[in-house]
Each structure stands twice: as structure tokens, then as C-alpha cells.
Structure 1
């Protein structure tokens, strides 16, 4: 079991929106496992209030061919996803339209590249929810395609992206294009959620392209004992990461952000 070695803190209510289908099991389940193990309460939301389903290709490795060893979720994430999927909170999600940001202490936004993610990324309700969390200066943690949802969320007064004046990272264009090229002959555009890459869309939402931080080359995935392999960007109350290989570092940093209470980190 991963020990975050953090000071004891009060229980926080963390909201995790998901699509009906297609979320990345690693990016949702590892944070769920580590945050609930630390004593926090995680709540889920879906478009219709029915349980979501993870991207089965990531869980089972079907169709990944010779790259299955590289692209499929690891055993720790698969086990965590099965436990999460059987939890009471996961089986009784809110509807998007029933979300009340004032009830929650933080927002966790997993990613996923299956086309089923589009209803999550394109939801006006979720975009308004994200904007409200930013305006309230509550912790928001987004990984991979979850950063696209943040980038699409507009400030109600300026109409600019809520992310405009923040530093961030997200799935790198090099990662997205490489995964597509490795599998495109049989999976077509499975690894391209949209024609525009995540990095390109997120960078376009920023006031300056230098606010997008790529980090070190993402060669190895992190784990509980190798947090330095992961890469995150923390800007005030907003935390971002690039891919499943950053998820332990991402979860660790989110635990620290939650432990900081209402004092934003710099």
C-alpha cells in the first residue's frame, strides 16, 4: 500500500466527473485508491447518473497488438479500477446537472482518449463547474485529456479560458502522435480523440505558449517508490499532469494540496 507520508488532515470531499464510457482506468482509479486510503471521500458524476465504464481496451489490452505491454494499464491500475468500480460512490454517481460546486472541496478530472470522452470534454455543465471551482479558488487537479476540459472552461466575465493565466501541462503532442502512429494501421484514429492534439488546444487557450510546460521526456511510468519519474505542474490551487505515467506523483501532489486546506500553494 502506498504511504503518502503526509500530515493528518481533515476529510475532504472530492468530486470526480466521468463520461458514460471511456475514461482512462489509471488516471481515475489510482488517485481514487490513494485519496480514499488517506481518508478522503470521493464522489462521482456522470451525464445521466448511471455508473460509468472505463476504456475496456486499456483494461484488457484488446487490439493493442505488439504494443500491449507498453500501452495497456498496469496490474496495479487494473486492480484499483475493479475496486473503485465496486465502491458505493462509483455505483451511485450524481448527474452532471445535480453538481453543486459549493458542496465539494476539490475537483479531480481524469483523462482518456476513447471517443466516448467527448461528452465529458464538451459538456457545458462540466465547463461551468470547472470555472466555478477556479473562481472559488478550490483545488482542481487535471491529468491528460482532463486538462482539455479545463482549457475549454470559460470565465463568465472575461469569456477567456479559465486557464488563460495559469501554467499547466497536459498530454504532450509527441506522446499522442506516437501512440497514434504505433497503432493507426489497425486502430485507425483511436488515439486521436480530436484532429487537434491536446497540447495544441491547451496551449491555444493560454495567454502565452511558454505557460505550457512539457517536463522531462516521459520515458518511464512512475510508481509509489519512484515519484520522481512523474511530472506535474502546480500553479496556486491548480494541479496538472501529462499521462498515466505521472499518476502517482499527481496523486501525491494532490494529497499535499488537499492537506494545505484553504491556503493556496505557490
Structure 2
């Protein structure tokens, strides 16, 4: 059966974007491992699980239950691998799943040169044009930024483009209209929480587009705020690579289900 790796920061990932895919993968019989920088047990963003923010803005009951079950029963979640270990490699995995999250702690993954290097070596195996390793990569929300951002570009002017790991791929990520809207709505009581790199920094969409060959054609924001369809699940699957992306927590289950079908087809 397929083997999956979910890299995580020590703290801060969105619980829905971790636990819902995990539960889908486990139900399908996939082997799921986790990795953190030094092997520390990860913890998802408490603001999305508890208190008034957890109630009004956070994970729904299904995601909270899935997170509690994962944290209590997954041996790999409790004792993850260390991506900085010299022996660590992505080669043994069929699928790498990159969750997102707004808390500034997720920068531990986004900023990691080691993770970027591991993914740069792994990603060519997702090409549909070869009969090689037949790997798959998935990312959601800020997880796309891990693939789309060179570490050196994080605090610089994004006016000059560059080639990211997914430079040739169709993708989505957290759209600017969503990020700007939630930031403006919550900044009076949450400050710059919804801006992972701080107030006045570019949006996730800006970072992602900067590394694409043709951003206006390759990037899809999904349904807008009008018409009541914004929360309908939306994912993007690239035609040239086994790469699937989502925007935010409501997309997580559809993303995982598509990956379940894709991986079973690839390995059959």
C-alpha cells in the first residue's frame, strides 16, 4: 500500500489540513509517517482548536475529533522522524503531503532549506512523462508556499520572478481575496495572526505566483466570495505532474480523497 510522509512544524499547522487527510489515508490502508525538524512531537495551532477562535474560526467537530484521534493513536505523530537527520530521505515514500496553517510557527517548514532540498530532489519523480518512481506531491494553503518559495526570496522584493519547484505546474493556494478578507476582519483582536510573515508582507498567492512560469495561466483561485460558492471544495490537479493542491481547510477532504484514488491507480 502507498506510504505517505507529512512534514510538520513543531507548532502551528492547521489541524483540519493535517488530521482530515491523515484520517482519509489511514482509512484507505496507507502507511502515514510524520517528520519534524529534530523529531519533536508536533502540535497543531491551538487557536483553531480551542477558545473563541476555535469556535468561530477554527476546525469543525469532525476535524477536531480526527485531530484528537490522530494525536492519541499515531505512533509516528508522537515520535516523528527528523528531517535534519543525515539518514532522512523522502525516497521511501510514495506521497508527500504538505499541510498549511497561519500561525508563524509554520515558517519552520516554509523557511527550511533542508525541506526545500528534499522536495527539489523528490519532485521530478512526480512527472507523468516517465516510468520511474511515480511519486506524488500534495499541498494545501501555506503548504504550497513550501514548494513555491525559495528561502532566499522570503524577505525580498517579489518583483523579480524565479523558478520554484512547481514552476511548470498548475496550482492553487490560499487566494489573496481570502487572506486579505480574513486578515482585515480579525486584525483588531488577532493582530497580524493571519499574516504568517507579518503585517504588510505579500499574500500566499503573491509568493506562489512569483515562482511560476506563467502565473496568470497556472494559478487558479477557485470560486470567489460572490454566489455562496467560496466554501465549496476546490482542488487543482496538474496534467504534467502528479501534483494536487488545495486552498484552505474546506478543501482538505476532497484533496485527500483525490490523492487516495490517484495513488491506488498509480500503484495498481
What TM-score range do you get, normalising by the shorter chain?
Answer: 0.7 to 0.9
SS at match of 1:117: helix
1:88-127 aligned at under 5 Å gives the runs 88-98=75-85, 99-127=88-116
Corresponding position: 1:241 with 2:246: yes
Equivalents in 1 of 2:51, 2:202: separation in Å?
25
Structure 1: give runs of 5+ residues left out of the alignment: 1-10, 223-228
Cα distance in 2 for partners of 1:232, 1:93 equals 28
* Alignment partners' CA distance in 1, 2:187 and 2:23: 33
TM-score using structure 2 length? 0.85
Decide which moves more: 139-148 or 90-99.
Answer: 90-99
Deviations 1:230-251 (A, max 9, x none): 1111113100000001111111
| SS of corresponding position for 2:213 | coil
Matched residue, 1:261: 266
Aligned residues: 239
Which residue in the other structure is 2:138 paired with?
A: 141
Query: Which residue of 14, 25, 30 maps to 1:24?
Result: 14
Deviation digits for residues 132-190 of structure 1, max 9, x if unmatched?
A: 22122210000000000010269xxxx82111111100001111111111110111100
1:124 CA displacement: 0.6
Query: Aligned match of 1:217 in 212, 221, 224?
Result: 224
Report the Cα offset of residue 252 of structure 1: 1.0
Counterpart mapping for 1:117-196 below 5 A: 117-137=106-126, 138-152=135-149, 160-194=163-197, 195-196=201-202
2:70 aligned with 1:80, yes or no? no
Q: Which runs of 4+ in 1 moved over 4 A?
A: 218-222
In structure 2, list runs of 5 or more residues that go unmatched.
127-134, 152-161
Using the alignment, how far apart are the partners of 1:221 and 1:164 within structure 2? 26
Q: For residue 53 of structure 1, give the secondary structure of its aligned residue in structure 2.
A: coil
